[in-house]
């Protein structure tokens, strides 16, 4: 309606100007007033209306001129005509220019609106909890620290928990989406927590890290923490924030929060299953060893019974033969001692095997085994050369069991080298670490394996020693296999001794989260001991 009125008004003004210009004797440039018509037309909308009205007004100006003056007009009249047409043209150009600017502004406003709408839609409907924070006051606090001459802000934050708590109170929550409301058990946006401090637990450490990230200008920040719901339940979450690059927009920092309760429960269940599996394989391993040992103990026990029965017979004679009886009892004693040795070994293995599974520093474990064997190594005149790899060698498993297998291998090497002339009894231990496994070799200078096949020596009760039980290597293999590794024994290439090689899965250092005084640091100590 308004448009129509404007159109009619423009037409009426145009007609009046034409009538005055053509049918009155006013000598001035009345046609200049056509600019009013063009301005009114421009209000109607697009540039086409401006151009059309401009063309009509120019036509009317020329028509009125010809009607009044014809082609033989005076110079002044021609000048007035030119002046009017110029005013018409300039106005048209200005209005067209303004129209373009307006159109551009409208387009960018529409784009902004559409993008805001898109953002709101994403914000409101995303299945991830999001809330917007105002971090401006926190930034000011951090800048205040610098103004006060604090150089190491990271350290200052670590040493001043009160500063962190105070800064937490300064973070206002300005908006929140539906998922966040559901997660935090709050019915409406209006009732949502007003400050970060209201739902972060006392012992939260993530906010201190967040302050460091802001201070150091990190573009993003991510951490695990817990948030307290309106009902007081603590939920484990991952929080992610991104900060504007130039420090602007700190009043609208979006944080996305993902509830990781299920993930942690799943991890715990997985860890539980892993522990059960380890326990099961350990029980299986112990069962296997026990069966072998029961068999081994059975033989000396039967012998003991026979020897005692023989002694009884010697004593039951009319004239008891004390010498024979004593010899039989002596044999019974030896057989019993042998059984006791087997039992002792099992006890050592199983009794200590109760230690927990964890990260094991190989070098430290080898050094411990060498320390235990030190007196015997001295008696046997064995020199040990230990060449550990440059980097830490960590595996996962039972330290005591692994140590037990190292002890067996060191004993074997030591005993084998008894046949080597004194001064040439050298046990070299090398460690080597590859991508996914650690390998270590015990290289001795004994007689080697002769024509025995390496693999057969791992069978229980295989021994070449008069007093050997043939269980050492079998137990080593059980232990190493239970740790997901492999073990082999072979002759040295120069045939001047044997090589026992063990490979175990490697734990990468950056995947470990062990505290400082765990076997990790023992590995460091081992390397340091070696360097010393």
Which residues in this chain contact ligand ADP in the complex, by CB under 6 A?
Answer: 408, 412-413, 416, 444, 446, 449, 457, 462-465, 468-474, 498
Q: How do the residues of the chain divide into helix, strand and coil, expressed in percent and rounded to 5?
A: 60, 15, 25
Shortest CB 281 distance to ligand ADP, Å: 21
- Sign of CA pseudo-dihedral 461, 463, 466, 469: negative
Question: In this chain, which residue has its C-beta nearest to ligand ADP?
Answer: 472
| Nearest CA among 171, 172, 145, 139 for reference residue 158 | 145
Is the Cβ of residue 213 or residue 370 nearer to ligand ADP in the bound state? 370
- Is 283 or 495 the residue whose CB approaches ligand ADP more closely? 495
Please report how close the Cβ of residue 492 comes to ligand ADP at its closest, in angstroms.
Answer: 10
Residue that the structure tokens 């350990």 belong to: 282
Strand pairing class (498-505; 437-443) = antiparallel
What does the alpha-carbon distance between residue 220 and residue 157 come to, in Å, rounded to a whole number? 19
Residue 474 Cβ vs ligand ADP, minimum distance, rounded to whole Å:
6
Phi, psi of 495, rounded to the nearest 5 degrees: 60, 20
Residue 121 or 464 with smaller CB distance to ligand ADP: 464
Q: Which residues contact 476 (CB under 8 A, 6 or more apart)?
A: 405, 408, 409, 458, 487, 502
Closest to 141 (Cα-Cα) out of 232, 80, 215, 84: 215
What distance in Å separates the CA atoms of residue 492 and residue 499, rounded to the nearest whole number? 6
Strands 426-433 and 383-387: parallel
Roughly what angle, to the nearest 10 degrees, separates helices 399-416 and 322-352?
140
Nearer to ligand ADP, 229 or 463 (CB): 463
Residue pair 221/209 in contact (Cβ under 8 Å)? The answer is yes
Nearest to ligand ADP of 245, 450 (CB atom): 450
Assigned token pair, 243: 């900060």
Q: Cβ of residue 457: shortest distance to ligand ADP, in angstroms?
A: 4
Closest distance to ligand ADP from the beta carbon of 401 (Å)? 16
Nearer to ligand ADP, 241 or 471 (CB): 471
Residue number with CB closer to ligand ADP (67 or 461): 461
Contact by Cβ (8 Å): 10, 53: yes
Report, in Å, the least distance between residue 372 CB and ligand ADP.
17
To ligand ADP, the closest distance from the beta carbon of 462 in angstroms equals 5
Between 368 and 444, CB nearer to ligand ADP:
444
Q: How far is the CB of 493 from ligand ADP (least distance, A)?
A: 15
């Amino acid at each position: 309606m308004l448009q129509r009125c404007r159109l009619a008004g423009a037409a009426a003004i145009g007609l009046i100007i034409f009538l005055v210009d053509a049918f009155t004797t006013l000598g001035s440039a009345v046609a200049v007033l056509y600019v009013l018509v063009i301005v009114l037309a421009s209000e109607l909308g697009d540039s086409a209306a401006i151009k059309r009205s401009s063309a009509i007004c120019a036509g009317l100006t020329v028509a009125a001129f010809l009607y009044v003056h014809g082609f033989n007009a005076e110079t002044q009249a021609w000048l007035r005509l030119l002046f009017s047409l110029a005013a018409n043209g300039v106005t048209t150009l200005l209005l067209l220019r303004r129209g373009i600017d307006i159109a551009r502004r409208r387009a960018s406003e529409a784009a902004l609106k559409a993008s805001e709408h898109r953002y709101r839609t994403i914000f409101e409907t995303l299945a991830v909890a999001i809330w917007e924070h105002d971090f401006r006051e926190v930034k000011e606090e951090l800048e205040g620290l610098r103004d006060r001459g604090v150089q190491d802000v990271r350290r200052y934050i670590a040493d001043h928990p009160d500063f962190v708590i105070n800064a937490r109170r300064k973070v206002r929550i300005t908006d929140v989406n539906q998922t966040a409301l559901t997660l935090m058990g709050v019915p409406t946006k209006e009732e949502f927590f007003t400050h970060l401090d209201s739902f972060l637990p006392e012992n939260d450490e993530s906010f201190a890290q967040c302050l460091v990230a802001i201070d150091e200008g990190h573009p993003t920040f991510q951490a695990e923490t817990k948030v307290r719901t309106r009902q007081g339940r603590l939920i484990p979450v991952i929080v992610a924030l991104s900060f504007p690059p130039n420090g602007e927009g700190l009043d609208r920092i979006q944080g996305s929060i993902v509830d990781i309760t299920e993930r942690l429960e799943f991890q715990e269940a997985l860890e539980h299953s892993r522990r059960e599996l380890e326990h099961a394989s350990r029980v299986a391993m112990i069962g296997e060893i026990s069966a072998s040992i029961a068999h081994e103990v059975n033989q000396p026990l039967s012998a003991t019974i026979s020897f005692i029965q023989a002694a009884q017979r010697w004593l039951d004679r009319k004239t008891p033969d004390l010498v024979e009886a004593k010899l039989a009892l002596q044999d019974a004693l030896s057989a019993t001692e042998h059984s006791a040795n087997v039992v002792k070994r099992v006890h050592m293995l199983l009794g200590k095997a109760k230690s927990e599974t964890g990260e094991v520093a190989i070098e430290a474990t080898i050094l411990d085994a060498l320390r235990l064997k030190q007196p015997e190594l001295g008696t046997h005149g064995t020199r040990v050369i230990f060449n550990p790899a440059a980097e830490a060698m960590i595996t996962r498993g039972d330290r005591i069991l692994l140590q037990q297998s190292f002890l067996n291998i060191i004993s074997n090497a030591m005993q084998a080298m008894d046949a080597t002339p004194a001064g040439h009894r050298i046990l070299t231990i090398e460690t080597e670490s590859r991508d996914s496994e650690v390998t270590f070799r015990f290289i001795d200078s004994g007689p080697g394996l002769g024509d025995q096949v390496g693999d057969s020596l791992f069978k229980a009760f295989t021994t070449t020693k008069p007093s050997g039980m043939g269980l050492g290597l079998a137990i080593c293999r059980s232990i190493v296999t239970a740790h997901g590794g492999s073990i082999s024994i072979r002759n040295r290439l120069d045939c001047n001794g044997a090589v026992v090689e063990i490979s175990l899965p490697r734990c990468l250092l950056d995947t470990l989260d062990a505290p400082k005084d765990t076997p990790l640091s023992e590995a460091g100590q081992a390397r340091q001991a070696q360097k010393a």
